[in-house]
Amino acid sequence: MKDVPHWSGLNLSKRVELVKSPFEEIYEVNYPQLSWYVHSGMTGIVNLKAETFTLICGCAFKLAADAYWEVLMTMIRKLKISKANEKIEGKLKAAKMLPFTDTPEEGEQLLRALTQ
């Protein structure tokens, strides 16, 4: 199978070098493991217990959410979005924590605390 080049002309490791931390750590720590599960075919998962597979999926979902958070925060900072909305980082933090509130009032209190 022929490799499809990235539009930047850089491979993944070179792109990671450009964006630096925390993406370098994600690439060094998590990428090899995830690559194994994806590219090993059934070999990587065939003999796993269902509970183990569930844990692996949970780790991958958490990594995806954490990486998404980092991408959003990086974009907010690099594009200086806070100049247009000074509360944007607090709102993003509130959105991340909102599922852990029990009532709409707690959610509103959280948003106020993080955007003051």
More confident site: 16 or 42? 16
Cα-Cα-Cα-Cα torsion 7, 13, 15, 18, nearest 10 degrees, comes to -160
What Rg do the C-alpha atoms of the chain give, in angstroms? Answer: 19
32-55 pLDDT per residue, tens: 888 887 787 777 778 888 898 899
Residue ranges of domains in the chain:
1-79, 84-116
Give me the amino acid identity at 76: I
Name the more confident of 39 and 100.
100
Cβ atoms of residues 83 and 57 within 8 Å = no
Distance set, CA 116 to CA 32, 79, 110, 111 (Å): 41, 22, 10, 9
DSSP structural state of residue 19 = H
Confidence at 1, pLDDT banded by 50, 70, 90: low
73: tokens are 């925060």
The pTM assigned to this predicted structure is 0.73
pLDDT, tens only, 60-84: 899 999 999 999 998 999 999 999 9
